[in-house]
Amino acid sequence: MKIEFINKSTIRSFGKSPKLTLLKAGKISINKTARTLFDLDKDTFVKFGIDADNPSDKIIYVTKSSAEDSDAYKVQISGNHLLLNVQNVLSRLGINPREKKYLLDAKNEVIEGQKFLKVSFKEILS
């Protein structure tokens, strides 16, 4: 694996820091800076997946798709943010954003030649 680090000047050139937020409604909100880093836009269709070998991992894999794919979802728009409705996937992973708070960690990853946005959920203990 080759790691490419994003330096501070690159992030500053985007404007604000990249941010993903898990909303109580079961949606992931992605700000404009993160949209740029992860190459997502308002016309993007995506598919969601989980690791079949480790279904207990609290990780969602998001990949771009096309409108013709029956398993693909169109991203939603809210102001400058994109929204991914992941409520059904969260339920399958045992994540309930109405009851607990989570920290999201996202990164680009290539698996078997396909690009994914890997979103990990870590429960915040109160």
Q: What are the pLDDT digits (tens) for 70-126?
A: 999 999 988 889 999 999 999 999 999 999 999 999 988 999 999 999 999 999 986
Domain assignments of the chain as residue spans, ordered by start:
19-124
Tokens (6 digits) for 24: 């109580």
Q: Could you say which DSSP state residue 45 is in?
A: E
Per 3-state DSSP, the chain is made up of helix, strand and coil in percentages (nearest 5) of 15, 40, 45
Strand intervals (E) in the chain: 20-22, 27-30, 45-49, 59-65, 73-74, 76-78, 81-85, 101-111, 114-124
Q: How confident is the model at residue 11 (pLDDT cuts 50, 70, 90)?
A: low
pLDDT, tens digit, 9 for 90 and up, residues 32-46: 888 888 888 888 899
Q: How confident is the model at residue 50 (pLDDT cuts 50, 70, 90)?
A: very high
Q: Would you state the pLDDT for residue 4?
A: 74
